[in-house]
């Protein structure tokens, strides 16, 4: 078809899977652009409004002493663009208010609207010649609130966009083209064009482009990017292979069993997307409080306005009281209470080697009741090392010398582990002769006149030498180690046990989590014997082994039914589970996909930092609650005063300017309390 199209003078294009990946980026760019616009107008506005109060110089043509009208007008002009880029606060806030579901946006909308409207009234009075209204301009308060909260929302949106990057990395793992056999002809084509039943040729060292079944050839395939397990898997006729796994050294023909958009990798991509879409937003404490606070404030302001109108008949006097109540209730401190504490806390956590990507994750982490751990690369080092050399009559050093010399020619991770172990023991290795890799079995070679065969249990049974060795090796297998048998001149002379060793800190971290009252479980794609052996060693009671990559997120869901759950992992296969969990925690040495999909990243690859992250979260939430208290403390005291309670008793009337000062004082208290987190210790 392509040849015919080309001959006709056209260029055929490969089918591409179209994804709306730019939407998030465009939205984020728009938010940053609006935030910058708000900042550009707010900074000079703040200087203009606050400068004269603290002795900063102003050009004479806009100085309140020489040109009060222009002083007020310039502030209004600087405020309008800020209100425009923050227009969604008003559309959403008033909409929620009219639906009787007031939230944080409602409070922002009411408070800033009140401040701006009263300031516009004051500007009109200044133009009419009343200079007393110079102290009744609150434009900068409204602009500052919008700019600060817009910054917080922009940073929050940025953290949520990380999953898109994770999905993109997953897509890039799958090869774009494959070599397909049609009769005697080999055709290179896009994977999207490959159909179920086609035969694909897999060359040594290439990534497998499709899910399928081997119909010819043998090889070892590295599936670590999907399963997390470091050992390559032997493949022969009838073995299943999955897209994005890496063929090591054999040549295979694979019959396609799944369409390109239904592979294991595609399913993982869909799971990540679905989990991200279904992740319920955390109900902000500030929004909950706003739901009660806004109606109360509005009710008090309206009642006070009506009351003073009836009592005095003075519209301007009653309006000043109405505005003073709304200004003192303005959510500047409320807007700062959470983001300031989170900003300081995430900075402090980074010093501990814990990167927390969003305030949502930090807020949720303090509630964690269950921590689910992946095995390979999380609890264990994720790489094979020699744990034991067991001899059956031969000197151990000589056995190691012969095996490591032979293994130098192999690319297998077990071979690398044996060679590295020999070098650490300062064993001098030699080049071997007649080296031959036997996929699915092991290898054979000649050295110093001796015939060496190194391989698995299957190879030993085929050679008929298993009865030459006691069953001691079975004990090592039960401990989750892999025995590699050694035959010299047709005599089984021993075996080398290779295993994935525990990280030094795993045991202490799991104990610390338990002492905090947190349940610890393990999910792994590894076999049950190995999984249970590791779990016993580190003190984990609940183990789910042989879990397929696409089923890990389902396993996390079962824990979520009964508790707030965190998932800790490092592999691509962990990505759906990391996104599904209430808090996803990635090991810093893990794959880019896992790191992008997670809410928290542990830079030092230390499980003790899971404990650190939870403790940091608990301290931060305590600080936020203190901040919310101080944010409302001044309001609760100031609102009755603003309503004229002291004036009724013969005391002073709260001027809107003093109300704004009280509002500023609450902000100072909140920021000061949040800054204490810089010194917190774990």
Task: Please give the pLDDT value at position 378.
Answer: 87
Task: Please give the pLDDT value at position 16.
Answer: 46
Task: Please give the pLDDT value at position 442.
Answer: 87
What is the tens place of the pLDDT at every residue in 585-635?
988 766 666 777 788 888 777 889 999 989 988 888 888 888 777 777 767
What is the tens place of the pLDDT at every residue in 113-134?
887 888 898 899 999 988 888 8
Q: How far is it, in rounded angstroms, from Cα 596 to Cα 608?
A: 21
Q: How wide is the angle at C-alpha 432 spanned by C-alphas 427 and 436, nearest 5°? A: 125
Q: Is the pLDDT of residue 451 over 90?
A: yes
Distance between first and last Cα of the chain: 66
Q: Which residue, among 434, 410, 418, 612, has the nearest Cα to 508 in the 3D structure?
A: 612
Percent of the chain with pLDDT over 90: 23
Residue 67's pLDDT band (cuts 50, 70, 90): confident
Task: Please give the pLDDT value at position 652.
Answer: 73
* Residue 384: partners with Cβ closer than 8 Å, 6 or more residues away: 230, 231, 413, 414, 416, 417, 482, 498, 499, 500
* Residue 199: partners with Cβ closer than 8 Å, 6 or more residues away: 180, 181, 215, 253, 254, 255, 256
* Residue 548: partners with Cβ closer than 8 Å, 6 or more residues away: 264, 525
Q: How far is it, in rounded angstroms, from Cα 350 to Cα 5?
A: 57
**Which helix (H) or strand (E) segment is 638 a member of?**
helix 608-642
Q: How far is it, in rounded angstroms, from Cα 83 to Cα 111?
A: 12
The full DSSP string for 291-335 is HHHHHHHHHHHHHHHHHHHHHH--HHHHHHHHHHHHHHT-THHHH
What mean pLDDT is reported for the chain?
Answer: 82
Cβ proximity of 170 and 243 under 8 Å: no
Cβ proximity of 387 and 497 under 8 Å: yes
Q: How far is it, in rounded angstroms, from Cα 523 to Cα 365?
A: 20
DSSP code at position 574: G
Q: Which residues pair with 220 in a beta bridge?
A: 234
Q: How far is it, in rounded angstroms, from Cα 131 to Cα 122?
A: 9
Task: Please give the pLDDT value at position 371.
Answer: 95
Task: Please give the pLDDT value at position 647.
Answer: 81
| Highest mean pLDDT (candidates 266-280, 347-361, 513-527, 616-630) | 513-527
Over residues 443-452, mean pLDDT: 91
Percent of the chain with pLDDT over 70: 86
What is the tens place of the pLDDT at every residue in 469-485?
877 888 888 887 889 99
What is the tens place of the pLDDT at every residue in 428-442?
999 989 998 887 788
What is the tens place of the pLDDT at every residue in 664-675?
666 677 778 877
Residue 371, token pair as written in the block: 């921590």
| 161-165, 250-254, 351-355, 428-432: the lowest-pLDDT one | 161-165
From residue 268, alpha-carbon distances to 243, 560, 584, 633 in Å are 12, 20, 16, 49
**Residue 384 CA to chain centroid, in angstroms?**
28
* Residue 631: partners with Cβ closer than 8 Å, 6 or more residues away: 331, 333, 334, 336, 337, 666, 670
Task: Please give the pLDDT value at position 590.
Answer: 63
| Highest mean pLDDT (candidates 25-29, 233-237, 291-295) | 233-237
Q: How far is it, in rounded angstroms, from Cα 183 to Cα 359?
A: 58
Q: Is the pLDDT of residue 577 over 80?
A: yes
Q: Which residues pair with 495 in a beta bridge?
A: 390, 485
Q: b or e along 392-417 (b: 16 or more beta carbons within 10 Å of the residue's beta carbon)?
A: beeeeeebbbbbbbbbbebebbbbbb
| Other Cβ atoms closer than 10 A to 504 | 12
Cβ proximity of 587 and 578 under 8 Å: no
Cβ proximity of 178 and 188 under 8 Å: yes
Q: Which residues pair with 42 in a beta bridge?
A: none
Cβ proximity of 570 and 589 under 8 Å: yes
Task: Please give the pLDDT value at position 283.
Answer: 40
**Which helix (H) or strand (E) segment is 380 a member of?**
strand 380-391
Residue 19's pLDDT band (cuts 50, 70, 90): very low
Catalytic residues: 374
Domains located in the chain, CATH noted: 175-262 (2.70.150.10), 353-379+503-615 (3.40.50.1000), 381-502 (3.40.1110.10)
pLDDT higher at 319 or 586: 586
Over residues 30-47, mean pLDDT: 90
Task: Please give the pLDDT value at position 282.
Answer: 38
Task: Please give the pLDDT value at position 173.
Answer: 73
Task: Please give the pLDDT value at position 664.
Answer: 61
DSSP code at position 482: E
Residue 278's pLDDT band (cuts 50, 70, 90): very low
Residue 244, token pair as written in the block: 């994005």
From residue 68, alpha-carbon distances to 43, 141, 258, 547, 613 in Å are 20, 19, 76, 73, 53
Helix (H, G, I), strand (E, B) or coil at 198: coil
From residue 199, alpha-carbon distances to 169, 229, 265 in Å are 27, 27, 19
Compute φ and ψ for 390, nearest 5 degrees: -115, 125
The full DSSP string for 171-195 is HHHS-SEEEEEETTEEEEEEGGG--
Q: What is the dihedral of CA 663, 667, 670, 674, to 10 degrees?
A: 170
| 19-33, 110-124, 504-518, 667-681: the lowest-pLDDT one | 19-33
Q: Which residue, among 170, 365, 398, has the nearest Cα to 263 in the 3D structure?
A: 170
Q: How far is it, in rounded angstroms, from Cα 247 to Cα 228?
A: 16
| 30-34, 309-313, 380-384: the lowest-pLDDT one | 380-384
What is the tens place of the pLDDT at every residue in 388-437?
999 888 889 999 999 999 998 887 788 889 999 999 998 899 998 999 88
Task: Please give the pLDDT value at position 340.
Answer: 72
| Highest mean pLDDT (candidates 102-111, 225-234, 565-574, 667-676) | 565-574
Q: Is the pLDDT of residue 656 over 60?
A: no
Task: Please give the pLDDT value at position 21.
Answer: 46
Task: Please give the pLDDT value at position 494.
Answer: 92
Q: How far is it, in rounded angstroms, from Cα 262 to Cα 23?
A: 24
Residue 238, Ramachandran bin (φ over 0: left; ψ between -120 and 50: alpha; else beta): left
Look at the alpha carbons of 390, 394, 398, 401 in this order and tell me if their dihedral is positive or negative. negative
Task: Please give the pLDDT value at position 404.
Answer: 93
Over residues 648-667, mean pLDDT: 66
Cβ proximity of 677 and 341 under 8 Å: yes
Q: How wide is the angle at C-alpha 400 spanned by C-alphas 394 and 406, nearest 5°? A: 115
* Residue 598: partners with Cβ closer than 8 Å, 6 or more residues away: 357, 569, 578, 584, 585, 586
Task: Please give the pLDDT value at position 444.
Answer: 92
């Amino acid at each position: 078809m392509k040849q015919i199209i080309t001959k006709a003078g056209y260029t055929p294009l490969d089918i591409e899977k179209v994804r709306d990946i730019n939407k998030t980026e465009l939205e984020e760019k728009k938010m940053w652009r609006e935030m910058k616009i708000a900042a550009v107008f707010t900074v000079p506005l703040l200087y203009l409004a606050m400068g004269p109060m603290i002795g900063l110089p102003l050009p004479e043509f806009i100085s309140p002493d020489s040109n009060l009208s222009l002083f007020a007008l310039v502030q209004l002009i600087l405020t309008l663009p800020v209100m425009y880029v923050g227009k969604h606060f008003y559309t959403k806030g008033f909409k929620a208010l009219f639906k009787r579901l007031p939230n944080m946006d409602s409070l922002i909308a009411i408070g800033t609207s009140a401040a701006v409207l009263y300031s516009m009234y004051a500007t009109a009075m200044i133009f009419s010649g009343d200079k007393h209204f110079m102290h009744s301009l609150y434009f900068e308060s409204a602009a500052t609130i919008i700019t600060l909260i817009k910054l917080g929302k922009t940073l929050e949106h940025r953290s949520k966009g990380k999953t898109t990057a994770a999905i993109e990395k997953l897509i890039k793992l799958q090869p774009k083209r494959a070599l397909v056999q049609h009769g005697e002809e080999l055709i290179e084509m896009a994977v999207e064009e490959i159909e179920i039943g086609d035969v694909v040729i897999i060359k040594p060292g290439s990534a497998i482009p499709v899910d399928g079944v081997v119909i010819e050839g043998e090889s070892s395939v590295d599936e670590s990017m999907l399963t997390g397990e470091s050992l390559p898997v032997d493949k022969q006729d009838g073995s299943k292979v999955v897209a994005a796994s890496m063929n090591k050294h054999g040549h295979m023909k694979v019959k396609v069993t799944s369409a390109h958009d239904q592979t294991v990798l595609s399913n993982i991509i869909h799971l990540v997307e679905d989990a991200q879409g279904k992740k319920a937003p955390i109900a902000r404490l500030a929004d909950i409080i706003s739901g009660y606070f806004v109606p109360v404030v509005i009710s008090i302001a309206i009642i006070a306005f009506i009351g003073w109108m009836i009592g005095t008949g003075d519209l301007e006097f009653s309006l000043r009281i109405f505005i003073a109540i709304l200004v003192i209730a303005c959510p500047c401190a409320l807007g700062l209470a959470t983001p300031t504490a989170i900003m300081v806390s995430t900075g402090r956590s980074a010093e501990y080697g814990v990167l927390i990507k969003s305030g949502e994750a930090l807020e949720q982490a303090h509630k964690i009741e269950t921590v689910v751990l992946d095995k390979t690369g999380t609890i264990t080092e994720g790489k094979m090392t020699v744990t034991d050399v067991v001899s059956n009559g031969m000197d151990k050093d000589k056995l190691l010398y012969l095996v490591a010399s032979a293994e130098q020619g192999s690319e297998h991770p077990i071979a690398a582990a044996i060679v590295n172990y020999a070098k650490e023991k300062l064993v001098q290795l030699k080049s071997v002769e007649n080296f031959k890799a036997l996929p699915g079995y092991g290898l054979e070679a000649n050295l110093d006149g001796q015939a060496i065969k190194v391989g698995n249990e299957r190879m030993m049974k085929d050679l008929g030498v298993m009865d030459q060795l006691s069953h001691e090796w079975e004990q090592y297998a039960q401990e989750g180690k892999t025995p590699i048998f050694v035959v010299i001149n047709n005599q089984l002379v021993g075996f080398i046990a290779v295993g994935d060793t525990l990280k030094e800190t795993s045991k202490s971290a799991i104990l610390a989590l338990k002492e905090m009252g947190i349940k610890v479980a393990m999910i792994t794609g590894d076999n049950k014997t190995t999984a249970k052996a590791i779990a016993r060693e580190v003190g984990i009671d609940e183990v789910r082994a042989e879990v397929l990559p696409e089923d890990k997120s389902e396993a996390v869901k079962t824990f979520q039914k009964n508790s707030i759950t965190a998932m800790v992992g490092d592999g691509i296969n962990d990505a759906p589970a990391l996104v599904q969990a209430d808090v996803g925690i990635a090991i810093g040495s893990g794959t880019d996909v896992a790191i992008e999909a997670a809410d928290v990243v542990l830079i030092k690859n230390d499980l003790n930092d899971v404990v650190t992250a939870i403790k940091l979260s608990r301290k931060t939430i305590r600080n936020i609650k203190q901040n919310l208290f101080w944010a409302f403390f001044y309001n609760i005291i100031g609102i009755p005063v603003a309503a004229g309670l002291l004036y009724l008793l013969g005391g002073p009337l709260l001027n809107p300017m003093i109300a704004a000062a009280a509002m500023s004082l609450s902000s100072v208290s909140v920021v000061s309390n949040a800054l204490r987190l810089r010194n917190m210790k774990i």
